[in-house]
Amino acid sequence: MTRPAPAATVPEVIDIPEELAAAQEKFNKEAGRAFIAALPDLTADFLHRWDLRVTGPSMHGVSALVLPVDRADGTPAVLKLQLRDHESEGEPVALRLWNGDGAVRLLDHDEPTGTMLLERLDATRMLAHRPDVHEGVLVIARLLAHLHTTPAPPGMRHLRDIAAALLERTPRALPRIPDPAARRIVADCAAAVREVADEPGDRLLHWDLHDENVLASDRAPWLAIDPKPLAGDPGFDLWPALANNFDPDDIGWRFDAMTDVLGLDRARARAWTYGRLLQNCLWEIEDGRPLDEADLETARRLRSLTA
């Protein structure tokens, strides 16, 4: 999730982590620069508006600044400030629906900016710190099984539209892959998505539940944080746990364990996992980067599994 980082000091307000500024510059260009420039005033505004007191150093992920704070009554919380986009705008909607059941609890939210006040979990007890990778996979699977019981609300971004866009972009991307074997893998991923695209599902998905987005708390052993929610098939939620601590020889075990815990049809789950791999590959191709070898190997290993 988030971590303390070296920072450029903004006097009397906050520390803006240099890594966060660099990530915003890289991924969001002008909008990211504007977000970073506005952060000191934005933070000061919400500290005053919600009567919060900063109680520790700033933390960050790729896209958000997180400040540990206390509310006026002494309740510990965290203030999360992020650039509002098509992924983050659904976060407060999902957190309200989950209402603390399997996920961090939303305490307050500002719609125009996407700023959120969240319950404070224990960032020192992150699932990624547990040495047993299989335990971590099962924790994530159980959390997903729980979160997926919630149907997605109207208006949530939908896997149907994402899949259609992936299939529309693939023909333009394939000629840009120089290696024929890699090109074949990407084409096969697209073919698998095409087979299931007319049944995209309706569950509320987390989309990014890896072991750094699972924290412990006093009220529950483990809770999910930082969703990038969408409506769709639960199979589209498996990839992050396959990619954590990547081990190609463990792909089969992880896929079997997760589909078993979630009660998924293996063929459909594999097709939608191919969809995540296709999504990753298209991002790399369109940004002029080489394909991720771990993604390609994941596709190969999934192909070898029996239905």
Concerning whether 295 is annotated as a catalytic residue, the answer is no
Residue 283: CB atoms within 10 Å: 13
Instruction: Write down the residue that tokens 């979160």 correspond to.
Output: 147
- The three-state DSSP-derived secondary structure of 158-188 is EHHHHHHHHHHHHHHHHHHCCCHHHHHHHHH
Length of the chain: 307
> Which residue in the list 70, 108, 188, 208 is annotated as catalytic?
208
Question: Which H helix or E strand runs over 221?
Answer: none
Rounded distance, CA 131 to CA 246, Å? 14
SS3 296: helix
Residue 45: CB atoms within 10 Å: 15
Ordered alpha helix ranges (H), 197-292: 239-243, 251-262, 266-286
Q: Give me the DSSP letters along 56-89.
A: S--EE-SSEEEEEEE-TTS-EEEEEEE---TTGG
SS3 265: coil
Enzyme catalytic residues: 208
